[in-house]
Structure formats: C-alpha cells, structure tokens
Structure 1
Amino acid sequence: MKMQAERLKVIEPLPLPLHERLFDDGEHLAQALARQVAADLRGALARHGEACIALSGGNTPKRFFQALSTQTLDWARVTVLPIDERWLPPEHPRSNERLLREHLLQHNAVAARLLPLYRPTETPEAALMPVLTKIANEGLPLDVAVLGMGDDGHVASLFPDLGRDNPALREIGLQPRGRAPVMAIRTEAMPEPRMTLTLSAIFTAPALYLHIEGEKKRAVLDNAQRDPRNNLPIRSVLLGAPHPPTLYWSP
C-alpha cells in the first residue's frame, strides 16, 4: 500500500487589525472624517474640559482641515499641534505650521490654540529640549491623532531610513511606550531636518486615524498590514498601537 505524500500546509499570517472606512472620493472622506474628529473633540471637552489634537501635514489633509474648521464646538478650549515639522520658518510654503494656520485655523476653528514644534534656532537639535518640555507639559496626552502616510511607508517624520546610522533613533521614534515624545530627524529622503512626535506620543490619543488616499498608498498599507517581514514605519503603527487605528481611505 502506497503512503500518500505528506502535504505541508502553508499558513498565511493574519493581517494586523485595522478598522476601515472607505469612500468614493476625497471630498466625502474629508467631510466624514471632520464630523468624526469633531465628535471626538466634543467628547474630550465634556470629559475633562479641554482637548488636544495632533495633525499631519502634506497636501492630502487640506480638504479635511477645511471641513474640520467649520465644525461647531468650543474651539477656544482645543489645542492643535503638528505631528511633525520641517525646520523652516512658519511663513515658508513647506511649513506645516503655515498649513494649519491657512487651512484649519479659520472659520469656527480660528479660536483654537496652536502649539508649534518650530523654534527660530539653526537646527532642530538646538530646540529639542524646550520643545520636548513644552509638548510633554501642554500637549500630552493627546485626545485625537490623524496620521498620514507617504508612498514610502513613512508616518509623521519617521522615515524608513530612520536609525540606519544610529539604531537607537529607530528605537526612540518607533517605541510604542517610550519616554521621549519628540525627536529631531535628519533623513536622506528629504532636504530639510525635522522635528517629529514619536509613536509613544502619538499613541496617547484614544482616537487614532489613518488618512490615506490613492491606490499606490493603499498597496503600501496592505503590504505592511499582511507581511511580517515588512519593517516600514507604518507597520510599526499597526503593530504598536494600543487599539486598532481607523483607516479613512479613498481612491
């Protein structure tokens, strides 16, 4: 009697947990995300009298910022801070502080308080301790954080080459329960040095959202969610978040 050859069963790894809200276009996404974030901020205001939100920069969130600025809530008790900042003065076109002032801090949200990361020093390293102290004392814990993602899988200013020459930097930036809420960043991927919140600071927010648009970025996210060999920063978000983030995505 011939023995049947044993077949090895390949077990595919389960994708990391992620709540998903999918939209046909960026405008509907922006409106829905604005309504949800406003509800989160109202809840935080009701619980402890003030609220703090950290927001990513770039072109993707502009419509969302504009929609959020028209939401009705007690903006005078809301603190807004950028998740990361290029080391450029706030009048520079690439400044995230400028982005927030022009697209969010208007209409109803004009009364919100902005807590910037930039200081007029030559380097972010020179301003690190004052910024770190300010954020720790006046910005944390967060109530809401909205992360974007680059085509290369970076989040905040935590890029794939983080820690290439100094592995401790990767540990600081991507540690889910670390002690450093802010760090100075230099990357070959971008021309300017930067200041960024670390994942340990971002993860203090009970409401954590990923705002991602486009098929290319969705493919990057899907790979990070499913492939255990993936070591992009976005996978560190999915692995380390204390509860599954909520994805808002449109083509």
Structure 2
Amino acid sequence: MRTATERRYGGLRIVEPIALPLDEHLFDDGASLADALAKAVAADLRGAIARRGSARIALSGGSTPRAFLTALSKQTVDWPHVTVLPVDDRWVHPRHERSNEKLMRETLLQGAAAAARFMPLYRPSPSPEAALLPVLSRVANEALPLDVVVLGMGEDGHVASLFPDLGRDSPGLREIGLQPSGRAPALAVRTANAPEPRMTLTLSAIFTAPSLYLHIEGAKKKAVLEGAAADPTSLLPVRAVLAGAPRPPSLYWCP
C-alpha cells in the first residue's frame, strides 16, 4: 500500500503523502446500504464455509448496524457452521440496553441465523481485566483466524473500543491495541470517552480477516474518515486501520 509519492525539483527529492486507498461503496440511504452489505458479507461467509467447512465473523455494535444485522439474518447461509462474536463489548450484563451481545441476539441471531454459534466477549466477572486471560485464550483458540470483520467508526475516529485516548495512562495499551500483528487478540479498555469499561479485539485479531468492511453513516463521520486517510500524522485509530490493513477496507457509507 503506497502512502507517499516522490517528486524531484533539480537535485531535491520531495516526498508528499497521498491519501490511503479505500474501496468505496456509497448509497443514498441506510436501507439500501444494509441490504448490499448483508449480501456481500453473506457471500464471504458462504465462501469461507465452502473452503474450510466453517466461517468466523466479528461484528460491531451500536445504533448504526441494527438494520444491517437484521438484513444479514435473512441471508441464505449455512448458519450452524458460522461463529459470531462482537468486535467489542461494554462490560455490562448481556440483558443491558448498551450490550452489543444483546443487540446481536435481538437482530442477527433470529430465524435461521439463530443456529449460528455466538461467542461473547463478556463474562460474569467484576471487570474486563479480571476476565482478560480466559477471553484471550478463547478468542485465540476458537475465533482466529477470522473470515469477516465489519467495523464501525465513531465521530472521534475510534474503531472497535480502540479510542483516541487509548494508552493515555498506560502507553503500552495503545501499542497492543493498534499493533497490526501480535499475540494479544483482545484487550481490556477503560476510556474517558465511555462510561463503562470494555473488552475489544485488537487490530492484530481484526487483520486476520481477509474481508474487512467499514460501515459508517453520516457526513460528519465521512469527513473524519477522509481526514484520517489523507493525514499521515493522524493518531486516530481509524488511521491505523487504513494504514495497517493487509488490503484496503471496503467502505459502505450513506448520508
């Protein structure tokens, strides 16, 4: 992936940054985006099952993907051979309104898709730090390598639960979370930008998937994404995704 271009003026070599590439799919509305993304992801899952006999997918939560998750549940996939896990989750009970597990059970894991195997990141433990070792072990042994990942992005440029202030108090956490390759597939996160502690996949786990999607909606988020793609000095986590992904992510966006 090229991140700069060179020009020469006389004997002077000038290196100019260029925007990181994106495979863009732009839609007029959320319904058409949800339908198209669901079909693309379902095709990836069917392909993985045909090659290996099973498929593994990590999905984002929040309000944006609700329509997409519902549309995906209606796709024709051999769901008993699919493992689903959240990209990240808040450290709240699975029945809590802010739980990504709850969202996925209410939207994706319905009808035929209810036969998929769900792998939660949350455990009945007082903190994500206390549960980190068993979560690390399970993700490493049962979820990796992933086949598909669908990421969202916040208006602050965060992806998964990898926030711009990650590692502010513990600098090593930023390196672990945003490292494109490494041995830590999950990370316990606390941030001033969110009220609850969280558990998240790291980029090293996310980048095991050959199919990587960015699902964002709204003009403000697209401006943040384009700014991060164009600025090689950006410290936004989404910039780390664009710069470190083995191949350009597929952007699905609508106003």
State which of 44, 60, 73 in structure 1 corresponds to 2:64: 60
Counterpart CA distance in 1 for 2:160 and 2:227 is 19
State which of 191, 203, 223 in structure 2 corresponds to 1:219: 223
Counterpart CA distance in 2 for 1:231 and 1:13 is 15
Structure 2 residue 141 is the aligned partner of structure 1 residue 137: yes
Cα shift at 1:108: 2.1
Structure 2 residue 23 is the aligned partner of structure 1 residue 19: yes
State which of 185, 192, 197 in structure 1 corresponds to 2:189: 185
Counterpart CA distance in 2 for 1:183 and 1:10 is 39
State which of 208, 232, 235 in structure 2 corresponds to 1:231: 235
State which of 16, 29, 32 in structure 2 corresponds to 1:28: 32
Residue in structure 2 matched with residue 173 of structure 1 by the alignment: 177
Greater CA drift, 107-116 or 215-224: 107-116
Partner amino acid, structure 2, of 1:118: Y
Alpha-carbon displacement from aligned partner over 1:124-167 (angstroms, at most 9, x marks no partner): 01100001101111111000000000000000000000011111
2:17 is paired with a residue whose SS is: coil
Q: Which has the higher strand share?
A: 2
2:50 is paired with a residue whose SS is: helix
Flag structure 2 segments of 5+ consecutive residues without an equivalent: 1-9
Structure 2 residue 85 is the aligned partner of structure 1 residue 75: no
Structure 2 residue 147 is the aligned partner of structure 1 residue 147: no
- TM-score, reference length from structure 2: 0.94
Counterpart CA distance in 2 for 1:149 and 1:112 is 26
Counterpart CA distance in 1 for 2:77 and 2:246 is 27
1:184 is paired with a residue whose SS is: strand
Larger Rg over CA atoms: 1
- TM-score, reference length from structure 1: 0.95
Counterpart CA distance in 2 for 1:250 and 1:229 is 27
- State percent identity of aligned pairs: 69
Residue in structure 1 matched with residue 6 of structure 2 by the alignment: none
Partner amino acid, structure 1, of 2:187: M
Partner amino acid, structure 1, of 2:230: R
2:141 is paired with a residue whose SS is: helix
Counterpart CA distance in 1 for 2:29 and 2:90 is 29
Cα shift at 1:13: 2.1
Alpha-carbon displacement from aligned partner over 1:186-244 (angstroms, at most 9, x marks no partner): 00001100000000000000000000000000000000000112110000000100111
How many pairs are equivalent?
245
Residue in structure 1 matched with residue 51 of structure 2 by the alignment: 47
Alpha-carbon RMSD across the aligned residues, in angstroms, is 1.4
